[in-house]
Structure 1
Amino acid sequence: MEHLSNILTSPNMYSAAVTLLLLIALKAIVGQFITQHPLAFFSFYCQRLADKVNKTSSSPRQQNISGLIAILVTLVPLLVILWLFEAFIEVYWLWHALLLYLALGSFGLSKTNKLVARDLVANNNYQAKQKIAPFLLRDTEPLSALGISKACIEMQLLRSSQLLVCVGFYYLVFGPLAALTFRLLLEMHYAWNIKIARFAHFGAAVNHIVKLLQWLPSRLFSLLLLLGTVGQNTLLSWRLIRGKFFQTDNNILLHILALGLEIKLSGVAMYNGSKVRKISFNDQARQPQATDIIHASKRINFALYLFLLLVMLLAIMSYATSGYSK
């Protein structure tokens, strides 16, 4: 605990917190005008690598081993190069800011979902599917208006947790290289998702790694989401979701949001033509509608604002205890 306290109150923590806040603001502003995919090439590389080494004729064990080796041969050389390159950098804060910029995800999800909701209200399902398809792993063609609404809500929730809260957490605690490492692992997880049949074994290793790494920051985010239900049977919501707190998945996030919006989330989805049955949450509630996309965005953004407030308080605390104020 004393070591953790030293980390949280160190001068480096103050600089990291301020840098994180500034870059989030920058990406949020830029995201209103252009779509950002700084790691699109890495995602393309992961897909091509899987095409080369993931042989469906191999046994499940061989595919598991191939997936683990693919992680190592991709990450280890890249991280070593970045770590060695830092020795030649004169302006450390600029280098760290660049790594964090690459690690953070896009902040245009609320805008995208608002446009999708508008299309759904206008009964323009085709345009809604076209807008949301780049952000989804599941097949969008068979989705109804209700399915699109559910997919939008789940996508924004999970991506906000992974690409902002988790990345920000690892940046603050372990530094920019750790944040970028998590993001690269996340991109591998997206590219080799086990919901797609041919990656069921090949993507198992990165799936387990990402689940473990996002457990703590996603639990922090779940508590912030739970604060959004204050005045709305919060204690009952906690009793319903507390059993999922120590599970190594994101079910707790989906369950909290489903209870808060009084809608049903998750369930059956199509991935690459195959039907996947997932756990559904708040089964007795109604199916989500287009208006619920907007309500969900507000809930998610409220939790993100609380996260940013915590980062600001951390910066203030670090500033006050590290000698900056002298």
Structure 2
Amino acid sequence: MAELPHLLAAAIVIIVEWILPIPFRYSPLKLCALLADAIAKKVNTPGSDRQRQISGFMSLLTYFVFVTVIIWALLFIMPYDVWTEAILLYISLSYHSVAKVNKSIKDALHNKQNTLAKDYLAEHAEFDTKPLSPLGIVKGALEVEIRSWATAWLTPIILFLAFGGVAAIAYRVLDIAVQRWCAFDPKFDSFGLPSLAVRSALDWVIVVMVAPIYSVFKSSPGWWRMFRKYQPDWPQQQSLVELVWSCIVAAGCRIEMAGPAMFNGVKAKRLRINEGQKPSQTTIAELQSWNTRFIIFVLVLLLLFWLIANTI
């Protein structure tokens, strides 16, 4: 076996997922979304905020027990080696399927097909897309783009390199629960907070390591100052890590990010970051180009370290 095989496996998976991304509706992770919906339907009942937070935490544990049993059963009949772990990583990644959808959104907006653009955005957005203006569609697409890059590409890869494929897919399973039990949605407000808190704790480790490097790939002056400005008023229903990424994108692309949105018919008061700097359709391509430069950097780094390890 070559030295540091996880480096080579990660590089191969990055390339394969780039060329052949799995649309979420066909991904095995779609089953996790259905499971999260089923658990919430049974357990998410009216009550005090405290009771619903406890219900949310217990639901998260139940959800993970079911998923763990399924993964364990699959691994029991498969050889658990680096390439099995690579398959788990491939299943965990879904950024490029989102990027393809966002490219379709950009094209639809260019052709004045706003309804079609809203339908595309609804595939990956937790917020309501029907009330959105063309500007709102662009902002929503940018929000989904950076979130999926961070949670459905960056973090799974780092966890894979550090702990293996099971860690990568476990994180994505958690991320799906956070999305399905979105704390901004009135149905899941308190119920969704425990899963959000768990994911945020993991995300902070990654963002501290990567955010300063990521910001270098497109000049993002003042993003930390911007983060400190909005941090005190950032709502608890949304992770502060998302504020970090939004501030970097807002500073790098010189645009406004976030802002009020509708969740299940109810308007949520969210802060406008860098207010007044309206993004355009081309900003979607600009952000995707930024992400691509970073992905190429990671890919080159992985292959370089793997070559060095095998030549020493």
Partner of residue 151 from structure 2, selected from 156, 162, 168: 162
- Cα 1:131–1:80 shift into 2, 3 Å: closer
> Which whole-Å CA distance do the structure 2 matches of 1:235 and 1:127 have between them?
35
Preserved contact between residue 165 and residue 307 of structure 1 (Cα < 8 Å): no
Preserved contact between residue 116 and residue 128 of structure 1 (Cα < 8 Å): yes
> Which whole-Å CA distance do the structure 2 matches of 1:91 and 1:274 have between them?
46
1:297 CA displacement: 1.5
Partner of residue 26 from structure 1, selected from 13, 16, 28: 16
> Which whole-Å CA distance do the structure 2 matches of 1:115 and 1:21 have between them?
27
Residues 215-230 of structure 1 aligned to structure 2 (within 5 Å): 215-230=204-219
Preserved contact between residue 264 and residue 288 of structure 1 (Cα < 8 Å): yes
Structure 2 residue 259 is matched with structure 1 residue 270 = no
Aligned to 1:184: 173
Structure 2 residue 135 is matched with structure 1 residue 143 = no
1:170 CA displacement: 0.8
1:138-189 alpha-carbon deviations (Å, 9 max, x no partner)? 1110000000011111111110010110111111111111111111111111
Letter in 2 for 1:265: M
> Which whole-Å CA distance do the structure 1 matches of 2:155 and 2:307 have between them?
21
1:119-154 alpha-carbon deviations (Å, 9 max, x no partner)? 112211011111111111111100000000111111
> Which whole-Å CA distance do the structure 2 matches of 1:137 and 1:179 have between them?
22
Structure 2: state its 5+ residue gaps: 232-238
> Which whole-Å CA distance do the structure 1 matches of 2:49 and 2:223 have between them?
40
> Which whole-Å CA distance do the structure 2 matches of 1:282 and 1:297 have between them?
20
Preserved contact between residue 161 and residue 221 of structure 1 (Cα < 8 Å): no
Preserved contact between residue 178 and residue 195 of structure 2 (Cα < 8 Å): yes
Structure 2 residue 116 is matched with structure 1 residue 127 = yes
Aligned to 1:171: 160
> Which whole-Å CA distance do the structure 2 matches of 1:287 and 1:147 have between them?
10
> Which whole-Å CA distance do the structure 2 matches of 1:289 and 1:38 have between them?
34
Letter in 1 for 2:270: K
Residues 184-263 of structure 1 aligned to structure 2 (within 5 Å): 184-230=173-219, 234-241=220-227, 248-263=240-255
Structure 2 residue 109 is matched with structure 1 residue 117 = no
2:130 partner SS: coil
Aligned to 1:309: 300
Aligned to 1:4: none
> Which whole-Å CA distance do the structure 2 matches of 1:176 and 1:33 have between them?
20
- Cα 1:130–1:316 shift into 2, 3 Å: same
1:315 partner SS: helix
Partner of residue 291 from structure 2, selected from 288, 300, 315: 300
Preserved contact between residue 145 and residue 289 of structure 1 (Cα < 8 Å): no
Q: Percent identity?
A: 25
Preserved contact between residue 258 and residue 273 of structure 2 (Cα < 8 Å): yes
- Cα 1:310–1:214 shift into 2, 3 Å: farther
1:63 CA displacement: 1.3
Q: Return the structure number with greater relative CO, CA threshold 8 A, min gap 6.
A: 1
- Cα 1:87–1:12 shift into 2, 3 Å: farther
Preserved contact between residue 250 and residue 256 of structure 2 (Cα < 8 Å): yes
1:67 CA displacement: 1.2
> Which whole-Å CA distance do the structure 2 matches of 1:302 and 1:237 have between them?
19
Aligned to 2:311: 325
> Which whole-Å CA distance do the structure 2 matches of 1:316 and 1:244 have between them?
43
Structure 1: state its 5+ residue gaps: 1-10
1:14 CA displacement: 1.8
Aligned to 1:42: 32
